Structure 1
């Protein structure tokens, strides 16, 4: 069994688990170029998946990624579906298009899209704070609408690999941190509800990278606020990840390990950092918080998912 760490690259993970990629259908949110999602998509393309579908806001920003997939392996079906995760009518429309494009079978869903450190308090189309909306609630709704396709893939897979959901998480800022904590709690809730259908969920912290567009609106001085905010909200000093930054070749490794490593299937959802299972902070795994978040999320998206 390969041993991965903070220096592992996306290509190394995919190469180690080629059998978990070959012939399978992957749906990735937020795959504009450059992004973690685009890194995931092009890395997966090197191991002969059947289909990579990217759901993102802007077709023009995704087209270079689709072209790269086709250049890597012209036999891989590469599809774009437009979605604005902060607009739930858009999410519902996109879910229908994704189900149609994948013939209602999805082996792996990677929720990679997101926003970060929005400087002004901003509301989405429904009147909800934009970071909670795009990072968690939009994915909560989309994932649940795609559960029938995940369940169908798990049931029809003769290799019994099951289906997986990977929610990208992180550990920065107040609103962003709350949304990313929600990603971890959501992963626990999904596994508890859907493991009997062969669906497991994982949260993955990819690390920090300066090549993607996620923090392109920030300057270095903006990061100074992290220390004060963390101390105020948690009573603890903020400590940067090690390594402080990962290369573009490394940034997708942990989400891919969560998506592909067959040895990390556990009785409950897992949180990965630097390609390894680690225990998240207590409030991100609290059983009561898991249930409260699920109920609140259903209320805010206006739909019940009683599994």
Structure 2
């Protein structure tokens, strides 16, 4: 990656821990202005303070922001605040994610919790940020996906998985939806599997993972305007590969966009 990103503005969701935190750290070290999103204002501020204290990052490059993705109203408020204060946003990294819980759980908005946090919140956020997301060369959205999207299936008649729930199937559905979403944006967008890393999601994959910083390197690489990317493409770490077939099916892309718009009350 180039030594400096020369000051683009980047919003990283889920930036208080794991790959999101390391992504924010690497981007700020390269000169990006990083809007660091956390679930709460306290978590976002603590992560910002840690970056300043332990990495010596200039606090002027960091802006903590908060929204709990289990509440779509907070996602809307976050998007409106960003558009107001940062009318030009160069890169959006849709990274925030949770493991689906053991027991079926619905948010107050009526959505299965991992489907909302991992996909629907990012769908809503990205669409609301569209006025700020630059269409200039280098502007882009990077969705942090997973190899588990390949085992996913979107249950069109029961997307909330009320009738039949499995935490792994629910999580895989959310990752497939996020990957499909990259193919249906009016701005340049890609998905990336950063590899299995030692983060809070590790129990879904196994017992061993690479350091979160290693996964973040693959995300940060795709944020670099010097790196040419293919719109809608899927990257497995640093290599462009074909995603699950459903991720590029025109019918699936359109159907998901319609479903997500209905569930969040916003049609793209």
Return the alpha-carbon distance in structure 2 between the equivalents of residues 265 and 283 of structure 1: 21
Aligned match of 2:224: 260
Cα deviation for residue 114 of structure 1 reads 0.9
Return the alpha-carbon distance in structure 1 between the equivalents of residues 200 and 41 of structure 2: 16
Return the alpha-carbon distance in structure 2 between the equivalents of residues 279 and 149 of structure 1: 30
Cα deviation for residue 60 of structure 1 reads 2.8
Is 1:18 paired with 2:3?
A: yes
CA deviation map 1:160-210 (0-9, x unaligned)? x331101111133211111101111100011xxx2xxxx310101111122
Give me the TM-score of the superposition, normalised by structure 1: 0.75
Aligned match of 1:165: 141
Cα deviation for residue 295 of structure 1 reads 0.8
CA deviation map 1:39-94 (0-9, x unaligned)? 00111111112x21112212333334312443533264311121112211111111
Structure 1 unaligned runs (5+)?
1-15, 156-160, 225-239
Aligned match of 2:267: 304
Aligned match of 1:138: 121
Structure that is richer in helix per residue: 1
How many residues end up aligned between the 2 structures? Answer: 247
Please say if residues 138 and 226 of structure 2, whose CA atoms lie closer than 8 Å, have aligned partners that are also in contact.
no
Q: 1:202 pairs with 186, 190, 196, which one?
A: 190
For residues 1-307 of structure 1, what are the structure 2 equivalents within 5 Å? 16-19=1-4, 21-32=5-16, 34-49=17-32, 51-71=33-53, 72-74=56-58, 76-102=60-86, 104-151=87-134, 154-155=135-136, 161-172=137-148, 173-190=168-185, 194=186, 199-210=187-198, 212-215=199-202, 218=203, 245-260=209-224, 262-266=226-230, 268-305=231-268
Please say if residues 29 and 111 of structure 1, whose CA atoms lie closer than 8 Å, have aligned partners that are also in contact.
yes
Return the alpha-carbon distance in structure 2 between the equivalents of residues 261 and 100 of structure 1: 24
Structure 2 unaligned runs (5+)?
149-167
Please say if residues 28 and 41 of structure 1, whose CA atoms lie closer than 8 Å, have aligned partners that are also in contact.
yes
Q: Which structure has the greater CA radius of gyration?
A: 1
CA deviation map 1:115-170 (0-9, x unaligned)? 1131110001111111111110000000110011013xx45xxxxx3311011111
Give me the TM-score of the superposition, normalised by structure 2: 0.85
Q: Which has the higher contact order (CA 8 A, sep 6+)?
A: 1
CA change 1:249–1:162 in 2 (3 A) is closer
Please say if residues 69 and 76 of structure 1, whose CA atoms lie closer than 8 Å, have aligned partners that are also in contact.
no
